[in-house]
Every structure is written in structure tokens, then in C-alpha cells.
Amino acid sequence: MALDISPTVHPESADLVASVFDAVDGVLAACPRSLYLQRSRQKEHAPELWDAIVAADLLAIGIPEERGGAGGGLTGCVAVMESLSRVGIPPLQYSLTTFSREAILRYGTEQQITDHVLTTMTGERRFCLGVTEPDAGTNSFAARTTATRSSSGGYRISGQKVYISAADESDHILLLARTAGPGEPVGRRQGFGVFVVDLSLPGIELRRLDVEWHAPEYQFEVFFDDVEVPAEALIGEEGLGFDHMLSVLNQERVVVAAWALGLGEYALQKAVDYAKTRAPFGRPIGSFQGVQHPLALAKAEMEAARQVMYSAAAEYDSGRDAGAKANMAKLLGARAALAAVDAAIQTHGGSAFVYETDVVTLWPMIRVLQIAPINNESVLNYLGERLLGLPRS
């Protein structure tokens, strides 16, 4: 499929985005969509995807040049996600690793950056992200996993996280845990810490969930039973972990927009190809405006969302508060892509539901992206309250 670089990409990012898109051919050759799907159907991993991303040096993007990375910031990471998603191979572990290491780049010590960030460039270090808990769900303020000071100066962690993607393929988890003891007088956002935890430590157990979403990465419940971690596992300041994590989550929202929009483009291209040839009435169904218009509308809405996405990335890279645009990008990208996948299913008729056609296979993932990593309603809450100044519900 042609990887056109839309002229609507932010002008100053166009060269960067184009060079990332060029690198995608090698990754696609190593892990085509057919392999990605086959592995997910067999409940296996696709190590070819991660290895090819490492080989193409795509993990160096987003790490500053002065630290030996390739620079490019969030804009570069968004381009990686969008370009791979457009060819049907959205790399979840890539996205988890890039936003986990962002928290360490921002708040970690030099030693933590050397140990946990620079090592991601060679693929040696891979992260999963541990925020969601069974009872707290969207309300992360209610998280109950605790990290209490131990007599040796480190922390002891106990609790449970859920839906943790790629926990079995990651060596470390970036974990949000409560550091303030019960009854301590702290504000809603205070009393948390962000920890880098080695997943091979004693006391950690993973249980795989059977999640239907057609990807070769899987979700896990992760249990922490009095896990001892050293003091250096804490990233940034004890008590401010929630704020540290929020700055990473803004990046996550923009990368997730790229993931959704890439998948939407993949679906749209399939629909257009099909509509040009399928002709039950003697001429292509693509000539019927009832078929054409939803596809044209999806294209227009995805391009609009893409503008907001690259604008959010540019704002983030310039050091400004990108909260509002990052949230808008996630919301608009997820919704526009959902409409594109839905239109692709309708265009394909019955054939959409044949596994090999690979159209209905896009539906669970694009549906998940309306809920995870943040549901669209919570994005609207944010925009209503922060942007419009409306009262909290």
C-alpha cells in the first residue's frame, strides 16, 4: 500500500515524518500484517516486529541527540506509530516503551537515564506500563497498590494491576503506586510514586487475560506480593508520582491518536480498493454515493484529526502545556478512525466478516482505543472542565 505523506503534516515536521515513513519498508518486510495476524490468532508473539524496529533505529527517535539519540521528540514517535499502524502493524510495545522512558527522561537521575532510557535504543530494555487497577479503573486516584519504605532504605510493593499490556515481553514495568500511608493528609493527586520495577523480582506474578483484539501482544493481571525494590527504583519525587505520570500520559494520548489514525487509514485503503472492483450491479460499488460518502467523510475527518495530532506533538516538543491538544487528538483520532473502520466493514458487506479479508479483525482494536488508555468520556470531561471552565460533575 502506498504510504503517501499528506501535505497537511505540520510544515516544519515534514522532513522528519517523511524520513520515518521511509524506514517503515524494512519493518514491514520483517513483519508483514499477515504474520502479525497469524501470530495473534495462534496467541503467539511477533518478535520480528520489535527486532525490526530496533534494527531500523526507530527506538533512537525521541531520545535527545545530546544523549546519543536521534532527536525528533514526540513528533518523531508519532510518525513511527502512525506509519507502522498504516500498514497494519501497530507496535504496542514500542509505544509503551517510548512513553515509559519519557517519565524517566523528565524526572530521572543521570544514572536512571543511563540504565533505563539509553538501553531502550538497542532494544535491551523494554517497558510495560502499570496504572490500571481492578477496583479503581478510570479513577486512578483510587489506586491501592502501595509502596512503603523498607528498613533497608528501599520500598516494599504490594497490590495488583490489571490489563497490563506486554507484561510478559517486558523486563521492567513503570508502576504507579501509593506511597502515603492510610490516613495521611494528602491531596487527591499527592501521595503517589512512580517506580521502575524489574519484573523478574521475587513476589511478582503474571496472569494472562484472554482479550479479544487481534494483536500479538497480550494483557495481564500483575500481582505484587511484598516486592522489595531499591530506593533507586523511585523516579522523581516521592508524593508527586501522579503528576509525573500525567506528563507521560499526555504523550501517550498523542501516540494513541497516531495508532488509531494509522489503523483507520489502513481500513480506508482496503475499502477503497474493494469498492473499485466489487460490482454486483455491473459497475463498481464505489460509484454509488451511498458507499462513497462515508469513505470520503472518514478521509476528511481523519485528516482533520491528524492536523490536531501533529499540532499537539509540536506543542509538546516546544515545551508548552499540550494537555488540551493531546486530549483532543486522542478523542478526534479515535473517533475518526472508528468511523473509517465501520465504513470499511459496511463497504465489504459479508466479506468483511471473513477472517482472511482482514477487515472485521480491525474492529476490536479500534473499539478498545475508544476506552483505553483513556475513555473518550474522560477526555470530554477534561475538555469541558479545563478548556470551557465548566464545573466538575
Ligand X SMILES: Cc1cc2nc3c(=O)[nH]c(=O)nc-3n(C[C@H](O)[C@H](O)[C@H](O)COP(=O)(O)OP(=O)(O)OC[C@H]3O[C@@H](n4cnc5c(N)ncnc54)[C@H](O)[C@@H]3O)c2cc1C
Interface ranges with ligand X (CB under 6 A): 128-132, 137-138, 163-165, 211, 213, 219, 368, 371-375, 377-378, 381
CB of 88 to ligand X, least distance (A): 17
How far is residue 222 from each of residues 17, 197, 209, measured CA to CA in Å?
A: 36, 12, 10
Complex with ligand X: residue 65 or 377, whichever CB lies closer: 377
d(CA 358, CA 140): 35
Nine cell digits for residue 333: 483520532
Complex with ligand X: residue 283 or 392, whichever CB lies closer: 392
CB of 199 to ligand X, least distance (A): 13
Q: How is the chain split among helix, strand and coil, in percent rounded to 5? A: 55, 15, 30
Complex with ligand X: residue 157 or 295, whichever CB lies closer: 157
d(CA 273, CA 3): 15
Complex with ligand X: residue 219 or 251, whichever CB lies closer: 219
Complex with ligand X: residue 24 or 233, whichever CB lies closer: 233
CB of 373 to ligand X, least distance (A): 4
CB of 131 to ligand X, least distance (A): 3
CB of 132 to ligand X, least distance (A): 3
Supply the DSSP string of 45-111, one letter for each residue.
Answer: --HHHHHHHHHTTGGGBTS-GGGTS-B-HHHHHHHHHHHHHHTT---HHHHHHHHHHHHHHHH--HH
* Beta pairing, strands 234-239 & 146-149: unpaired
Complex with ligand X: residue 306 or 335, whichever CB lies closer: 335
Please identify the residue of the shown chain whose CB is closest to the bound ligand X: 137
CB of 365 to ligand X, least distance (A): 8
Residue-level length of the chain: 393
